[in-house]
Amino acid sequence: MKKNIRTELGTRPLILVSNDDGYDSPGIYALVIALRRLGDVFVSAPATQQSAVGHAITVQFPLRAREIRRGKYFSGWVVEGTPADSVKLGATTLLPRRPDLVVSGINHGMNTSINIIYSGTVSAATEGATLGIPSMAVSIATHALDADLRAAMYYARKIAAFILAHGLPAGTLLNVNVPAVPRERIKGIAITRQGKSWWDDGFEARTDPNGRTYYWLFGKYVWDTDPLCDDAALRKGMVSVTPLHYCLTDETLFRAMQSWKLE
Amino acid sequence: MKKNIRTELGTRPLILVSNDDGYDSPGIYALVIALRRLGDVFVSAPATQQSAVGHAITVQFPLRAREIRRGKYFSGWVVEGTPADSVKLGATTLLPRRPDLVVSGINHGMNTSINIIYSGTVSAATEGATLGIPSMAVSIATHALDADLRAAMYYARKIAAFILAHGLPAGTLLNVNVPAVPRERIKGIAITRQGKSWWDDGFEARTDPNGRTYYWLFGKYVWDTDPLCDDAALRKGMVSVTPLHYCLTDETLFRAMQSWKLE
CB contact under 8 A, B118 and A56: yes
Res A148: pLDDT? 96
CB A133 within 8 A of CB A98: yes
Res A9: pLDDT? 53
CB contact under 8 A, A55 and B59: no
Burial pattern B32-53, b for ≥16 Cβ within 10 A else e, equals bbbbbebbbbbbbbbbeebbbb
Q: Which of A63, A126, A248 sits opposite B194 (nearest CB)?
A: A248
CATH architecture for segment(s) A2-195+225-259: 3-Layer(aba) Sandwich (3.40)
Give tens-digit pLDDT for B179-222.
999 999 999 999 999 999 999 999 999 999 999 999 999 999 99
Res B11: pLDDT? 82
Res A10: pLDDT? 61
Classify the phi-psi angles of A183: left when phi > 0, otherwise alpha if psi is within -120 to 50, otherwise beta: alpha
For residue A252, the chain B residue with the least C-alpha distance is B243
Q: In the structure, what pLDDT confidence band is assigned to residue B6 with cuts at 50, 70 and 90?
A: very low
Look at residue A85 and give its three-state secondary structure.
helix
Examine the pLDDT at A66 and tell me if it is beyond 60.
Answer: yes
CB B151 within 8 A of CB B182: yes
Candidates A235, A112, A63; CA nearest to B208 is A63
Whether the CB of B165 is below 8 Å from some CB of chain A: the reply is no
Cβ under 8 Å to A: B residues 31-50: 49
Query: What is the rounded CA–CA span in Å between residue B261 and residue B82?
Result: 42
Residues of chain B contacting A138 with CB distance shorter than 8 Å: none
CB contact under 8 A, A242 and B258: no
Residues of chain A contacting B262 with CB distance shorter than 8 Å: 158-159, 162, 189, 191, 241
- Percent above pLDDT 90 for chain A: 87
Query: What is the rounded CA–CA span in Å between residue B123 and residue B125?
Result: 5
Res B263: pLDDT? 84
Q: Which of A49, A117, A188 sits opposite B263 (nearest CB)?
A: A188
The answer, yes or no, to whether the previous bond of A106 is cis (omega within 30 of 0) is yes
Asked casually if ipTM beats, i.e. exceeds, 0.90, the reply is yes
Residues of chain B contacting A125 with CB distance shorter than 8 Å: none
Give tens-digit pLDDT for B148-189.
999 999 999 999 999 999 999 999 999 999 999 999 999 999
For residue B213, the chain A residue with the least C-alpha distance is A64
Give tens-digit pLDDT for A109-124.
999 999 999 999 999 9
φ/ψ of B106, rounded to 5, equals: -75, 120
Q: Which of the residue ranges A4-8, A66-70, B180-184 would you say has the lowest mean pLDDT? A: A4-8
Q: Mind telling me how many Å the CA of B241 is from chain A's nearest CA?
A: 9
Whether the CB of B202 is below 8 Å from some CB of chain A: the reply is yes
Q: In the structure, what pLDDT confidence band is assigned to residue B2 with cuts at 50, 70 and 90?
A: very low
Whether the CB of B80 is below 8 Å from some CB of chain A: the reply is no
Examine the pLDDT at A52 and tell me if it is beyond 70.
Answer: no
Bridge partners (DSSP) listed for residue B245: B172
Candidates A215, A123, A222; CA nearest to B55 is A123
Res A4: pLDDT? 36
* Global pTM value: 0.93
Query: What is the rounded CA–CA span in Å between residue A167 and residue A195?
Result: 25
Across the range A87-104, mean pLDDT stands at: 97
Q: What angle do CA B235, B237, B241 make, to 5 degrees?
A: 85
Across the range B32-49, mean pLDDT stands at: 96
- Percent above pLDDT 70 for chain A: 95
Cβ under 8 Å to A: B residues 99-128: 114, 116-118, 123, 126
Q: In the structure, what pLDDT confidence band is assigned to residue A169 with cuts at 50, 70 and 90?
A: very high
Inter-chain contacts counted by CB atoms under 8 A, chains A and B: 211
Name, in order, each residue with C-beta under 8 angstroms of A58's C-beta and a sequence gap of 6 or more: A81, A82, A85, B52, B217
Q: Which of A116, A162, A263 sits opposite B248 (nearest CB)?
A: A116
Which is more confident, A145 or A114?
A: A114
The answer, yes or no, to whether the previous bond of B106 is cis (omega within 30 of 0) is yes
Q: In the structure, what pLDDT confidence band is assigned to residue A104 with cuts at 50, 70 and 90?
A: very high
* Average pLDDT score, chain A: 93
Give tens-digit pLDDT for A227-248.
999 999 999 999 999 999 999 9
Domain residues of chain A, as ranges?
Answer: 2-195+225-259
Q: In the structure, what pLDDT confidence band is assigned to residue B53 with cuts at 50, 70 and 90?
A: confident
Res B52: pLDDT? 67
Whether the CB of A183 is below 8 Å from some CB of chain B: the reply is no
Res B50: pLDDT? 76
